[in-house]
Amino acid sequence: MSSTSSWILFRLLPIFQLFWFPANADSFLSNTLIRKNQVQSVLEHHPIDASECENTKPTGPIDTTMCDYETVESVNSDLFSNIHELVKMPFFKYFQVDLYRDCPFWDEYGSCNNPSCAITTVDESEVPLKWRARALSKVDALVEDRHELPGCYYRDSDFCWLDDNTEGDYYDLTLVPERFTGYSGPEAHRIWRTIYEENCFGLSEFSLMDGKAPAAVTLPETMTDVLREDGADSNDQCLEKRVYYKVISGLHASISTHICAEYLNQTTGEWGPNLHCFVTRIASHPERLQYIYFNTVLLLRAVSRLGPYLSAYDYCSTGTRQDDVETKEILSNVISIAQKAGRFDESVLFRGENANVLKEEFKAHFRNVTRIMDCVGCDKCRLWGKIQTTGIATALKVLFELDEKALNPHSNANLLQRAEVVALLNTLHRFSESLEAVNKFRQMWADMSSTESDQLILEAEKAVKPISHSSSDVRRPSSLFEAARNRAAFFVQVCRKSTLECVARLLSFCSRGLSGVFSILQSSGKESGPGAYEEL
């Protein structure tokens, strides 16, 4: 082939690619390595309504878990409706925390002067007597083998620092929703940069994606099978490394989703979902949404393991039997859902010769993440940061530190502090609400005209720096004919469901094809090389 022919073929390749990617590439679930049309892959995905983790052809297992996306999607509506009511109950809505400790990592950490950052405390007299500081500090005093700092401590089994309840105020969490506050700029960026630097394994989003992504097959029977299918190497990308990074990045993605879901329009003064925010922060990087699914499964597994303990817990709230019964009924529903979708096999982690060393390193760094929350300059952000890092740390402890004997509510009634129970369920609520918010963004996207959506994608592409990746990051069909067959099958499926959608998609692809033809003689815009990847 002549050099001229090669050049023409190279320039025409983007046009061929419009009809090239697999039939299921429109789903962000199909392939974490796809970098083309990633916004559409997130926003045009249709969640499954019913699943039992036994689909004949699931979209694919959630990496490092034994569950699939369909199961999480099918239970989340029920999960959210129940847990949304649960966190309104007196036991779960009051949280005591000291928000005014000094930052242990740097002296100047700024503050948020925006009114949205401010929160209101609850007078201790409004809190049931059993949960007040004096009563809780007596319980904390019974905890042995504590490593202490003024006002807080941790036990060897803990993945976070806990308040000792001698300081701090009470907050009604239903009155301080997690949403946009205006806290941004260098100080906010420094918080997340420091958190990611506590990633003791040095992983990034793309080093995590170097391995072969799991194919769309039935669920593996064990997490060991998942590990093997994912192409991970025990020396380069051990399971523990991936779990740690996904936990951190999933938390970041969930918080970003909440911010976008309740965004302040500074022109009108109204609160509402901001699709542009979601597209830029999440939809343009589909793997971030996958990390939200991952964290949801991890939290559900912790709640599932804690089922007997949580069922026997004393939720004495206002002193009325009705409140206590209602709390336990709703909690029972949440535990039932967790037992269905919390498919995570914690037993395959932290095994082998250096398991204890690896686990201690894991815990030490996550404890530091919980202490970084003391450096957040926004009161509301600091509150929810402390709650969610405590909630995830509680889940990690339940999964990786406690055996069945320790979880026995009769022999170990004081296993968890009240703050840990409240944080765990509120954190699960946060992740479930994130998935609900994603569905709202999908509806907003569906209601937009093609011109509006194209403009939104262009704006998002300008806001997000180009990502450097090797050719191995993108998987393509083995042949052009295979790709065409997949594309044809996809169109048949769409057209069976909706004639209007069928026509709209055909027109859209034709439009893109024409745009590709017109762009052949234009500069690619990549002469300066790819830019550096930037976190959320």
pLDDT, one tens digit per residue, over 488-509 is: 555 565 465 455 556 555 655 5
% of the chain residues with pLDDT over 90 = 29
Q: How far is CA 523 from each of CA 386, 451, 515, 526, rounded to the nearest angstrom?
A: 48, 24, 14, 8
Q: What are the tokens at 443? A: 């509806």
Q: What is the pLDDT of residue 525?
A: 34
Q: Is 179 helix (H, G, I), strand (E, B) or coil?
A: coil
Q: Which one from 152, 238, 381, 502 is the annotated catalytic residue?
A: 381
What are 107's two structure tokens? 């002296």
Query: So what's the pLDDT on residue 272?
Result: 92
Q: Distance between CA atoms of 281 and 292, rounded to whole angstroms?
A: 13
Mean predicted confidence (pLDDT) in 38-48: 78
pLDDT for 35 beyond 70: no
Instruction: With beta carbons less than 8 A apart as the criterion, state whether 139 and 166 touch.
Output: no
Give the model's confidence band at 37: pLDDT under 50 very low, under 70 low, under 90 confident, else very high: confident
Catalytic residue check, 378:
yes
Q: Establish whether 277 is a catalytic residue.
A: no
Would you state the structure tokens that stand for residue 84, as one six-digit string?
């949304």
Looking at residue 409, the DSSP 8-state letter turns out to be T
Cα(59)–Cα(28) distance, rounded to whole angstroms?
10
Res. 413 pLDDT band, cuts 50 70 90? confident
3-state helix, strand, coil in the chain (%, to 5): 55, 5, 40
Strand, coil or helix: 155? strand
What's the CA gap between 455 and 443, in Å, rounded? 17
- Do the bridges between strand 263-265 and strand 162-163 make them parallel or antiparallel, or are there none, so unpaired? unpaired
pLDDT, tens only, 156-184: 889 898 887 778 889 999 999 898 888 88
For position 292, what pLDDT does the model report? 94
Mean pLDDT of 222-236: 42
Please tell me the predicted confidence (pLDDT) of residue 2.
54
Would you say 299 and 391 are in contact if contact means Cβ atoms under 8 Å apart? yes
Contact call for residues 94 and 172 (beta carbons, < 8 A): yes
**Considering the entire predicted model, what is its pTM?**
0.74
Position 65 pLDDT exceeds 50: yes
Task: Tell me the pLDDT tens digit for each residue of 428-463.
Answer: 999 999 999 999 999 999 998 888 888 888 887 776
pLDDT one-digit tens code per residue, 103-144: 888 876 567 777 788 888 988 888 877 777 666 666 665 566
Q: Is 511 helix (H, G, I), strand (E, B) or coil?
A: helix
Instruction: Report the pLDDT averaged over residues 501-529.
Output: 44
- Contact 200/358 with Cβ under 8 angstroms? no
Residue 153 sits at φ, ψ, to 5 deg, of -160, 170
Which residue in the list 160, 378, 502, 510 is annotated as catalytic? 378
Among 6-15, 67-76, 354-363, which is the least confidently predicted range?
Answer: 6-15
Q: Which of 432, 500, 488 is nearest to 19 (CA)?
A: 488
pLDDT category at 253 given cuts 50, 70, 90 is: very high
pLDDT at position 411, please?
A: 78
Q: Can you tell me the mean pLDDT for 88-110? A: 86
Binding-site residue ranges: 179, 181, 192, 249, 252, 281
Binding-site sequence positions for FAD = 179, 181, 192, 249, 252, 281
Rg (CA), the chain: 24
Q: What pLDDT is attached to residue 60?
A: 58
